A = this chain, B = another copy of it.
Amino acid sequence: MSADSALTLVSATRTFDGWLKRYKHRSQVLNCDMVFAIYLPPQADTAAVPVLWWLSGLTCTDENFSQKAGAHRVAAELGIALVCPDTSPRGLELPGEHDSYDFGSGAGFYVNATQAPWNRHYRMYDYVNEELPQLVREHFPVNGREAISGHSMGGHGALVLALRNPGRFTSVSAFAPIVAPSQCPWGEKALAGYLGSDRESWKAYDACELIAQGDSKQALFIDQGDADNFLQEQLKPELLEQACWKHKHPLVLRRQPGYDHSYFFIASFIEEHLRYHAGYLFETHR
């Protein structure tokens, strides 16, 4: 193990006969120290297991999903490791970085920034797509099969990573994702800030645009609460439905009556998502 890939254990907590472990490491991509969480199910004691990547939403760290989603129970049953990255670089003091909840710290949007001063650190796309997966493969008993999911900004991240990397993930799902960041206030603020005003450069981080480009035909599995405060202004699932219909992209989008944008919504349906991913992660005939 090189010094560059060293992990420092932050905490280890027994949960559902597995271990939730949090690690600190120096990210070369982000030029800062980062913390991530991995849930290792009991099966990982004796065998290599598949991984579900979980990308969190605005203001979250690696901790929210672990504490609130109730996912460990099903992951322990199925034998799936859960990896939760943080949502932005940390420990920096860039100008304005901590001023708003929807830009800068806690709001990396899973893009590689091109605009100063963000471009030296805010490269969350490469971090979650390359650097952190490499670290996980080096340090943990994983078998190379990986699925991805996420919530809101993290749902956007999951869709973008999957659509841009056909074959990389066995399966992709999302909870209340930002499906068209080029067409909503959260996304426009973030993409303009990190990538600049040329909207052409935004397309690589916009699920609806990627559907139109058509590089991937991987099925999308999405749950969306119909009492979500952000539904009409920010999330706009109808734009994804239209793009998928137009470009014949397979989509299951479920509107869940009465559910909001909170982790209570995620907790209510995470079991179905984990079992959906298990169907692909453990598929024997590919």
Contacts and interface: CB of A to CB of B under 8 A. Distances in A.
A14 B265 contact: yes
A72 B13 CA distance: 22
A74 to B, nearest CB: 10
Interface in A235-286: 256-260, 262-265, 267-268, 271
Interface in A1-35: 13-17, 20
Contact of A70 (B13, B70, B256, B262): B70
B68 A227 contact: no
Interface in A44-89: 67-68, 70, 72-73
A144 B72 CA distance: 34
A225 interface: yes
A200 B158 CA distance: 61
A238 to B, nearest CB: 21
B70 A263 contact: no
A246 to B, nearest CB: 32
Contacts of A72: 264, 267-268
B264 A15 contact: yes
Nearest to A256: B14
Contacts of A20: 264
